Amino acid sequence: MSSADHQRHVLVLDTGGTIGMTKDDEGALIPKFGVFSKEVAENPRLNDNVYAKKCEQNYKGFDKTYALPLGSDYKRVLYYIKEYKPPIDSSQIKLENWKTMAEDVKHYYGDFDGFVIIHGTDTMAYTSATLSFMLENLGKPVILTGAQIPLQEIGSDGWDNLLGALSFAGLYVIPEVTLFFDKKLFRGNRVTKIDCNKFKAFDSPNFEPLATMEPSLSGAVCRRLNGRNYLFIAFSVNWCNMLKKTKDEFKVDTDLSPKVGLLKLYPGITIENVTSFLNEDHGLKGVVLQTYGVGGSPTTFLDVLSKAVKENGVLILNCTQCIKGTVLPTYKVGKDLEKAGLIPGADINGEAALAKLRYVLCKSKLNNEQMTKMMKRNLRGEITLLTA
């Protein structure tokens, strides 16, 4: 068997984010082109430079090859970096940026075994959820990751996050969009950011992680080859929860509706507030309504909500504002919302709810009734459908 049979090729799309930031003259972190690739190239944990130089250069138009140290099953993960210029602070993310990412995956889909998207943490969950719908019939891993501390700083979490993301993207066939952070691989449309300071920045309250990376001594095996030590990290994958690879052709849908909004209920919110938000002059076609508990709302809003749905054709998705849980017809107020035409959101989170609405609303061949049925379906593992 040739060495090429042991090689896996991964494309890294570096969109920006904290992981590749540097400090300006005032000490504030700013994105800077070239920082990420430079740091990765010089770190032996992420790049076996000796082996990388032996590999084919100019692979698919990329003039530099990076190589992970030898991994499990003696397979090599070779990767290539496409840096977005200028890099993006993720708080500035726009619909156009998501379209660019999706188009890049489409363009290079046949050339690589997997994809890693470097992204800022602030909106990473929004991006992973959105891409999960845009990338239809995905048969290869697309993994988002980043860091809470830049690679240039001591104690950066970026090294482990990169190692895990690259390993999963290169060594496993995971046919969905995921997010890797702090040793855990999450479904991309199930994750939410829970902490802006700690390394455990993300969690998936309604769906357990798809996989974990265990770099502990008990979970790793060291072998000595050609006078060098190689660390074989243990990976634990929950294949039962993984989406199944489809035989349908991979394609990308870059149409996303900008006409969506999010309204969170709170004690004291007035009917005037709700009416103003839903005013048809605003042009909203879809709304994520974050209600109380299992889907409750003040009954005084029923008429205005019903009018928005039945007269103005707005799709309103009823989602719980709780971090964990699902919308259920437990209380009469919840049943009344469904009778008013609101769509029960099950256990979908806010990031995925917005993404799904943007995606479904652009299905121009569907009428409102068909789009409503599509919103109720589990399209990419984003909701858990309860059976009677």
User: Distance between CA atoms of 186 and 207, rounded to whole angstroms?
Assistant: 8
Which helix (H) or strand (E) element contains residue 230? strand 228-232
Q: Do residues 161 and 200 lie in contact, with contact meaning Cβ atoms separated by under 8 Å?
A: no
Residue with tokens 């769509």: 343
- Token pair of 54 as six digits: 């032996």
Are the C-beta atoms of 15 and 88 separated by less than 8 Å?
yes
What strands, in cross-sheet order, belong to the sheet with 315-320? Answer: 260-264, 286-291, 315-320, 343-344
* Other beta carbons less than 10 A from residue 214's beta carbon: 13
Catalytic site residue from 15, 18, 320, 326: 18
Does residue 326 have an active-site annotation?
no
Overall size of the chain counted in residues: 388
Give the alpha-carbon dihedral of 270, 276, 280, 282, to 10 degrees.
Answer: -140
Directed axis angle between helix 302-310 and helix 332-339, to 10°? 30
What amino acid is encoded at 161 in this protein? N
What is the Cα–Cα distance from 66 to 47, expressed in whole angstroms? 6
Active-site annotation, residues: 18
